[in-house]
Amino acid sequence: AQSVTQLGSHVSVSEGALVLLRCNYSSSVPPYLFWYVQYPNQGLQLLLKYTSAATLVKGINGFEAEFKKSETSFHLTKPSAHMSDAAEYFCAALGGGSNYKLTFGKGTLLTVNP
């Protein structure tokens, strides 16, 4: 079965610093991969997705992620953090047999310090 691992349940950065949120998936077949963001008491909003096209994917709000098959990773980055980026981020994978079901990581809470 597909599994998604997010390293670090809580990441804290200073405003203007690099944001790096880590995600690894387990599948012998490269799946579709997604990053979602959740602000307090809101639903999940799609940041970006990888669907076997370009390995470097650009999303909204200046975020991007790189698919690395050799590392089974899909890490999320942003060059310069803003206060408004403070939220919880979820990595998810779809595929590898569970065609209808997204498998989510446990989430990473991003804190941005002034």
Partner 1 sequence: SQTIHQWPATLVQPVGSPLSLECTVEGTSNPNLYWYRQAAGRGLQLLFYSVGIGQISSEVPQNLSASRPQDRQFILSSKKLLLSDSGFYLCAWSVGSLGYGYTFGSGTRLTVV
Residues within the interface to partner 1 (CB under 8 A)? 32, 34, 36, 41-46, 49, 51, 90, 92, 94-95, 99-102, 104-107
- Buried b / exposed e over 8-46, threshold 16 CB at 10 Å, is eeebebeeeeebebbbbbebeebbebbbbbeeeeeebee
Least distance to partner 1, CB of residue 36, Å: 8
Q: Which is nearer to partner 1, 5 or 72 (CB)?
A: 5
Query: 3-state class of 71 per DSSP?
Result: helix
Identify whether the C-beta of residue 32 lies closer than 8 Å to the C-beta of residue 51: yes
Least distance to partner 1, CB of residue 110, Å: 15
Identify whether the C-beta of residue 28 lies closer than 8 Å to the C-beta of residue 95: no
Least distance to partner 1, CB of residue 30, Å: 12
Q: Which is nearer to partner 1, 72 or 98 (CB)?
A: 98
Q: Which is nearer to partner 1, 18 or 60 (CB)?
A: 60
